[in-house]
Amino acid sequence: MRALTLTGFTAGALVGGLSAAAAYGSVAKSSQLFGPTVFRGSGRERTIALTFDDGPSEGTLQLLDYLHREQVYCTFFQCGMNVRRLPQVAGAVAGFGHQLGNHSYSHPTLPFKSRAFIDREFTEAQKIISFETGLTPMVMRPPYGFRWPGMRAVQEKLSLLNVLWTVIGNDWRWPAAKITEHVLRNVTPGGIICLHDGRATEANPDVSQTLKAVRQIVPVLKDQGYQFLVLSDLLHE
């Protein structure tokens, strides 16, 4: 959520406080410095992955109903704290055939956190998601896309691939029309779209603009010949 812009904390501020190498490793989507990371598929086929961060939330069920009607399968990066709060919603995501990813336990900013803190965040989320849904995530996404030393170790420990995005919808702050225009303008074959069915660990967040944008984005991409895949299938191509 919020990609490279945080409340009172921006990517520019991060870069200013770190060495150039550490800053690049933390924010650059192509960087492998802090662990294996991908942000798109091969692009050889007209396929795309639609992903959602920060859930589950009370609004996730509406999203699931729409995706089910459209026969679109996505990847949901879930926060352990939200899964613990709404286990039945998290289970419904899995039950509808979507892929689950690890988005940390409490959605913290990782820069300047200890290796032990980072390990606890993803290990705890992995346990909760696996216990409540019956599915063990194979992919992860750090909050805000920021990486930090300690992620490589936790990726190896939990057998997780870090997956960022090709285009992010800024759907926590933009109206649906702007979200839709931005995503459709930047989408490409093999791309990974990042939207949000929650707002960090906020209870009962307003995700109405995200839901409205999804209902506009999906039909257009279908008309353009795109096939929606979960991340493991997109990356396997």
What residues are annotated to the active site? 53, 196
Alpha-carbon distances, residue 150 vs 81, 126, 160 (angstroms): 21, 16, 13
Give the pairing of strands 5-6 and 9-10: antiparallel
Residue 233 parent element (H or E) = helix 231-236
* Nearest-angstrom CA–CA distance, 139 and 129: 12
Is the Cβ–Cβ distance between 14 and 146 less than 8 Å? yes
- Residue for token pair 């959520």: 1
Burial of 219 (0-12, 13-18, 19+ CB in 10 A): exposed
Closest listed residue to residue 75, CA positions, set 236, 196, 231: 231
Residue type, 150: G
Is the Cβ–Cβ distance between 38 and 191 less than 8 Å? no
